[in-house]
Structures are given as C-alpha cells and as structure tokens.
Structure 1
C-alpha cells in the first residue's frame, strides 16, 4: 500500500500543489551512467498512478515498465531524465554522482515543483526547492515509483544500444551489473570507455 509522505499538512491543503518524484537507477552497475528522473504531478493526479499499476520499477516486467512510460508521461505536468557519466562517477564517487544526476533532472524541468520527494536518505546539495527524503520511496511513494520507471526504462534502452558497440560484456542481459559473464568479459578484454574504473572490476 502506497503512502503519500507529507512534509507539511498545510503545504498539501491545496489540490493543485506541484510535487516532483525523483529517483535514480544504476548505482550498483560496473558499466554506464547513473540515471535519474524527475517527474511532476499535481496532488490530485497522484492517486491515478496507483490505479494504472505504477509501483517500484524492480517489481515490474520489462514489458510492463515500457508500457507505463507512456501513461506516466501523459499524466505528468513535466518530466526530465538526466545522468552522470562513468567518468563523473569515478571523479565524484557514486553517491555524489547520483545526487548530481538527480539535481540535473530537477533543474531541467519546465515547471518548478513546490516539493521534491527524493528516494533515499540523502538530500540534494544546494537545491533551492523544498525536498523530503524517503527511504524506500520507490516502494512507498507513487510519484517516486513513476520516476524510477522512467529512469529504469531510459537507462536499460541506452545500455542495449551500447551493447551493440561493446559486445564482449553481455550488456544486453546484465544492463551493466557485475554478472559472471560481464566479469568474464572484463577479464578477457579489459574495461572499455564506459566502465567505472573506481569500482572493483576484477
């Protein structure tokens, strides 16, 4: 059962309040960027997300995630997807790169939400918009779950495209995570441009 986490009861008394759900995917991967999505809804639209089957992207099949992307975008007031590259991850560390990707997605929105609900326990540094962190937010907040779906589908499609260029790592199946085949490819061919050199690749 979803819960809508309220930072302030007064803040949400107006039905047209604009809230952004923000989530990232790919933190644990060895390959590729960490990708974040921010998606904005008004308060009255949020209940519709659960009705159409929005939930944590990890609990959905590939086909269902892809079908929900269009439905989420059609209901959203604004959405953006951004990322931090493997090189930025190596330079900043994965936590700071994830926060950077989330901040980029928020600042590129065509509207400014009154509140951002951020998955996790780390606030985004220097964000001028009110924000609330929610541990396990992709499981408990429908707008964070919507962001997780957009980010997951976008990143997976990117990795599949890159798999054609880098066929040695079984990327189409592992999406950049450190599976046995991926690590075998690393042992045989070494890392490529998109691998995170600061991660344990061996």
Structure 2
C-alpha cells in the first residue's frame, strides 16, 4: 500500500474555479504539494511538481490537462500559501469544524484503517454530500481517506496568471477528479490517504 500523510485543503472561489491542494509531509515521493483545479467550464487541471508525481496522480484521478510546474507551499497554524505555476493562493485558517472536533475523538489507528473507512463511506456520503472515504483509484486499485481533523478556511484570495479568481466561496459544484469531492464548506483536513496497489 502507498500512504500519503499530510493535509488536503478545498477552496471555492467566486469565479467558479475550485481548488484542492494536497500538501504531503510523507509519501512514496517524499514531501511535496500538488494542486487539482477545476474551472467554471469544468476543465480539470493537475499542477504537479515532477513528472513522476504527475504520472502517479494522473493515473489515480481524471484530468483534462496535466502541468509539471514548480509548486511551493507553506502551512502554519493560521495560514496556507501556495504557488504553483501561474496560480497563487493565500488562505486564512480558522477553528476546528464541529465534525473536526468529533474526528479528534476517534483513535488515529481506527480513523485511518482502510477497513473502517470502507465501512463508514456510505455514512460519510450522507453527512457530507459528494464526500466518500473509500472508492476506486483506477487501474484496479482502491483508495481510502482517513481524516483525523478538520479546520475551517475563513478567507482566501487566489489568482491565476495575474487574474483574480474572486473571493472565497463554497466548493460547488462538487469537483470531478475522482470518486470523492472535497466538502462544500472550505476547509483544511489532516489526512492519511492510503492507495492499495492490489485492489
């Protein structure tokens, strides 16, 4: 199994462009950040920092365009910044969400267990429409999202090639990169993503 430990941030903008940022502290590729972007017309773009990462992520999710570009990110207790090619994102982080506080009560070993995540996926879909905790990763593989905490994103500014994407907005409609979307309410989660090579 491949494990990715880090954070996923989901941000909507007033322009209709939606951003999903993966900032990974540990992974088969070491530490890295990638960005999945879907514009108002439904065009899905991956911004990845290397050819190897682009190939792996591109075989796991669906994109209309893949760009290998320098990607840099900083994450503090109060702020997330991302620079990826022509994309610039700055987000303010708020308090834990109500669900995030509940997630903090679940033992980490259970919260990140693929068996547990497969079991609770239907309930997650009812609680957060569009969100799943287990599903297909393509090419006969399975993927599991084990979220251990969640914090709100209270404000954000983003621009693409110098043009503003507008103010912070819900992540609607749901993004279509894989079997699960990020929640509609902008937030950042601590997560262990597990991808089973054997299906």
Instruction: Compare the two structures and name the one with the higher helix fraction.
Output: 1
Instruction: Compare the two structures and name the one with the higher strand fraction.
Output: 2
Larger Rg over CA atoms: 1
When normalised by structure 1's length, the TM-score is 0.28
RCO comparison, higher one (Cα < 8 Å, 6+): 1
